[in-house]
Structure 1
Amino acid sequence: MDSEKLNLYLERLDEVFQHIARRLHAELAQNMVNGITMSQFVVLKKLNEKGRVTVSEVAEGLNVSLSAITALADRLHKAGLVDRCRDEQDRRLVWLTLTAEGENTVSTCRKARSKVVEKYLSKLPEEDVKHLVQIYEKVLALMRAEG
């Protein structure tokens, strides 16, 4: 594909991604439970997937500052969604785990998120959805191959 054509596609793709992201973000924010923000949901989801994670691992994984994650973890702890404990061997490390209420919140938020996305994808032909997933998987594979 020539450079000029690629640039036109990239501009359009960027515009479409921005519109979709803004719309989904707004709708997802409205459908989160217990006043959970999208950032908090991302942290809760990571804990749900990994089980136990250090605050610094969460910060690195989300590419945000340690102080930002610490403040976010404090709010989640006060809300009863996560537990914090210091590592026995290295007291500098703080581990985060989900509480039962945190697990319930993740489950409820995931259902709400699925409902929002399903609202749009269900209106497309199955073949289009399948093709969309395949394209995203190809792009992700290219990104992973480059490191």
Structure 2
Amino acid sequence: MNEEKIKEIYSNLFEFVSLFHRKFGTSFRHGTDKYNCKKNQNRAIMIIGKYGKITPTDLGKFLDMRKGSLTSLVDSLEKLNLVVRKVDKEDRRKTWLHLTDEGKSYLENKKKEIEKAVISQFSKLNNEEIDLFLKNIREIVDIFKKI
């Protein structure tokens, strides 16, 4: 294993995450709608929407949140009628998080908002740069799935 290359990967990942948040982070911050969701609430809604249903434990891993903080987050989303907890039919010890219809509608609106931000940023690139970015991001995602 080449330690120097791995250190460079780490450095580039850190820079990528920083740049991503600088370019697109505003889309995840406080909204101007009636829900006024915070960044982690928006991230949770995006993750639950992607998977359809998810356990609180897995959501906590995705968000890097501890149990107490995650419980407060899910409680707040339930109060907004965006998320619902459902007990597993086969294992009553297991709870699933689902988006409500209102949550699904909120997610679609949030996706459109983020899409506008992405289009705005990437419209600064030429077609070759967009193709290269797309090719590389696909490869990065595939590699991340392997590790």
TM range (shorter): 0.7 to 0.9
Q: Deviations over 1:3-52 (max 9, x none)?
A: 98997897677556524422421354255743122321222122222222
In structure 2, give the amino acid aligned to 1:61: F
Match of 1:49, SS state, is: helix
Distance 1:141 1:79, change over 3 A: same
1:125 aligns with 2:126: yes
Change (3 A) 1:66 1:19: same
Alignment of 1:72 onto 2:86: no
CA contact (8 A) 2:30 2:39 kept: no
Output the amino acid matched with 2:81: G
What is the TM-score with the length of structure 2 in the denominator?
A: 0.76
Provide the aligned C-alpha RMSD in A: 3.0
Identify which range, 4-13 or 94-103, moves more after superposition: 4-13
* Counterpart secondary structure, 1:83: strand
User: Match for residue 29 of structure 1?
Assistant: 29
Match of 1:112 in 2: 113
Structure 1 unmatched runs, 5+: none
Q: Figure out how many residues of one structure are paired with residues of the other and give that number.
A: 144
| Structure 1 partner of 2:143 | 142
Indicate the structure whose relative CO is greater, using CA pairs within 8 Å and at least 6 residues apart.
1
Closer, same or farther: CA 106–13 of 1 in aligned 2, 3 Å: closer
Alignment-mate amino acid for residue 26 of structure 1:
T
Give the aligned partner of residue 18 of structure 1: 18
Q: Rg: which structure is higher?
A: 1
**How many percent of aligned residue pairs carry the same amino acid?**
24
CA contact (8 A) 2:83 2:103 kept: yes
Q: Which runs of 5+ in 2 are unaligned?
A: none
Q: Is the 8 A contact 1:28 1:116 kept in 2?
A: no
- Three-state SS of the structure 2 residue aligned to 1:70 is helix
2:29 aligned counterpart, secondary structure: helix
- TM-score normalised according to structure 1 size: 0.76
Please give the alpha-carbon distance, in whole angstroms, between the structure 2 residues aligned to 1:5 and 1:97: 41
